[in-house]
Amino acid sequence: MKIKDTPQEINKTLDGAKKALYAQDDNGEYKIIASAGWKVEEMATLAAIEELKEQEKAAFKEYLEGRLSPLPYYMYQKRMDISILACTAGMCKWRVKRHFKPSVFKKLNNNILMRYAEALDIKIEDLTHNDRI
């Protein structure tokens, strides 16, 4: 992309901030250019956020029904997926997914719960007390 072609449409998801893009100058050299974004990017971001909100609602419903632990609810609330949560908590994906089961989650020790709380930036009590959600 040439510098003159760098998108400068207003993108509400950036909240007025600019982001860095690489673009070629007239000499063919790459430069870092500030971009306000473009509408297609904004639409994709808003669609992804809406999908995470729907997943959060579904996880909350399944939590209330006793089919899920509170872990997936907080994961979606923090705009994460299993891969991101696993990486942030320093665990394997299969292990995180296993902890979505209420019966398994109830048996987790404080060290594991603390890793999740830190990864999700919440208090450990929020994970362990049913009335906190």
The model's pLDDT over 73-116, given as tens digits with 9 standing for 90+, comes to 999 999 999 999 999 999 999 999 999 999 999 999 999 999 99
* pLDDT of the residue at 18: 85
Task: List the domains of the chain with CATH numbers.
Answer: 3-37 (no CATH), 49-132 (1.10.260.40)
Confidence check: pLDDT of 67 > 70:
yes
What pLDDT shows up at residue 9? 83
- What confidence score (pLDDT) does residue 133 get? 65
Please, are residues 9 and 36 in contact by the beta-carbon 8 Å criterion? yes
CA distance 59 to 108: 19
7-23 burial, b for 16+ CB within 10 Å, e for fewer?
Answer: beeebeeeeeeeeebeb
- Mean pLDDT over 56-80 rounds to 95
Question: What local confidence, expressed as pLDDT, does residue 132 receive?
Answer: 59
| The predicted structure's pLDDT at residue 76 | 95
Backbone angles phi, psi at 64, to 5 degrees: -60, -35
Quote the percentage of the chain above a pLDDT of 90: 65
Residue 96 phi/psi, 5° resolution?
A: -60, -45
pLDDT on residue 90: 97
Compute CA 83 distance to the chain's CA centroid, rounded to the nearest angstrom: 10
The two tokens of residue 119 are: 């990864």
Categorize the per-residue pLDDT at 55 as very low, low, confident or very high, splitting at 50, 70 and 90. very high
| pLDDT computed for residue 47 by the predictor | 95
Question: Residue 130: pLDDT above 90?
Answer: no
